[in-house]
Amino acid sequence: MLDESLLDDPARLTDHDAGGLLRAGASAGAQVRATAEAATEAGLAGLLDVRPRALVLLTRPGVSSEVAGLLAALLGASCPVPLVVADAAPTWVGALDVVVAHTEDPGDDVLAESVDRASRRGARVVLTAPEEGPVAAAAAGRAALLPSRVPVPPGFSFPRAFTAALLVVHGLDLLRTDTDVLADELDVESERDHPVHESFVNPAKSIALRLAERTPLLWGLDPVATAVAHRAAAALAGFAGVVCDAASYAQAMTRSGLYRAVVRQATSGADIFADPDEEPSGGSVLRVQLLAVRQGPEVQAAKRAASDALPGADLMEPAEEVSGGDAVCAAMLALRFELAALYLGLAAGTLGGPVPPAPVGA
C-alpha cells in the first residue's frame, strides 16, 4: 500500500531514503557537466573530425539500450550516417566506423571483447565505463574512456551515458546539443522535484500519486516521446517494481484488447482518470500517460486523436518548460519519471533491502 503521507514529509522521506537515491537522481545535471569535462580532457573532438561510415551503438544490460533508443529517435530516418544498434561489435566493424558503448559492469566480458575488436580494427571507440576491470583494460590507450566522476548507485547512469552519446553525434555534426543548457535544465527539474516541495507543486510526486496502485500505460505521440516512455518504464520497474506498457500511440491502437479496455473505461465513466485517492474497484485500473516531446502538425494531430478517444487522459508535453531542443526536453522528461519512480518506490516500500541474486548462468 502507498503511504501518501510520506511524500509530503521531507524528514520521513530522508529517513526512508537511507541510500541517498533521491540525491543520486538529482545529480543528473552534475553528471552531464562531469561527462562533458571528461570528454574534453580525452580529446573527444579530435577523435570525431571525420564523418564515419557507420555509427555503432553497443547495448549492454542497464541503461544503454534506452540511451540507444532515444538517440536513434532523435536522429531519425534522415540521419546521413547508418545507425547500427547491437549487443556486440559487428564482425565488419573497421577504421571507418565510430563505436559508442556504456556499461556499469567493469567485468562485462562481451563488451570488453567488442571494445578490443573494434579498437584493433581501427574504429574510433567512445566508452563510458568504470576505470578498472576488463572493459577499461580493453580500452586502455586505444579508446576514449569517460569514467564516472559523480559517484552514483547502479541504475543512475542514464544522464552520463546519454551525454556521452550526444557529445559523439554533436562532434560528428549529426545532432547539435548544448550540454551546458542540458545540465542547467536538469538542475531546474531536480529543483522542481525536490523533496521539500509538496505533491501539488512537485511534478515527480504528482506522477507518483497518479500512478500509484494503477497499471501505467505510457504512450508516446512522437518517436522521441516513445523512447522516453521506454526509459520511464525501465525506471518504474527498477525503482518502484511497477510493470507498465510503453509504446507509441499508433502502436497502442493495434493492441486491440488493451486499447478497447482503455477506451471502455474512459467512456463508461469508470475511474481510469479518477482521483488517485479513490480506491479502485474490481481489477487493476489502467492509467494512461500520453507523452509528447516534439511539436508540429503530426504531433498535434496525434494529440487530438488520442484526446478524442481517451477524454481526460494525462498529457505530458514539457517542451514549453525547457530550452535547448528535443534532446534537452527528452532528458528532462526522463528525469522527471525517474524521480517519480523513486518517490513511488519509497512510498510503497519497494525500495531498500538486498537485491535477490541472479540465477547461475544468467
Burial 28-66 (b: 16+ CB within 10 A, else e): bbbbbbbbbebbeebebeebbeeebbbbbbbbbebbbbb
- Give 61-112 pLDDT, tens digit per residue: 999 999 999 999 999 999 999 999 999 999 999 999 999 999 999 999 999 9
Q: Is the pLDDT of residue 268 over 80?
A: no
Fold of 27-180: Rossmann fold (3.40.50)
Report whether 285 contacts 244 (CB < 8 A).
no
Record the cell numbers describing residue 131, joined without a space.
576505470
N- to C-terminal Cα separation, the chain: 32
Record the cell numbers describing residue 199, joined without a space.
505533491
User: Do 4-19+197-348 and 27-180 share a fold?
Assistant: yes
- State the architecture of 4-19+197-348 in CATH terms: 3-Layer(aba) Sandwich (3.40)
Report whether 174 contacts 81 (CB < 8 A).
yes
pLDDT at 311: 83
pLDDT at 251: 95
164, 303, 356 from 359: Cα distances, Å = 32, 43, 9
Record the cell numbers describing residue 266, joined without a space.
474512459
Q: Which of the residue ranges 14-18, 142-146, 237-241 would you say has the lowest mean pLDDT? A: 14-18
60: left (phi over 0), alpha (psi -120 to 50) or beta: beta
Residue 52: band (very low, low, confident or very high) from pLDDT cuts 50, 70, 90: very high
Q: In the predicted model, what is the mean pLDDT of residues 196-204?
A: 95
Domain range list for the chain: 4-19+197-348, 27-180
Question: Positive or negative, the Cα torsion across 24, 348, 211, 251?
Answer: positive
110, 151, 217, 266, 268 from 313: Cα distances, Å = 43, 38, 10, 8, 14
pTM given for the model? 0.92
- Give 330-344 pLDDT, tens digit per residue: 999 999 999 999 999
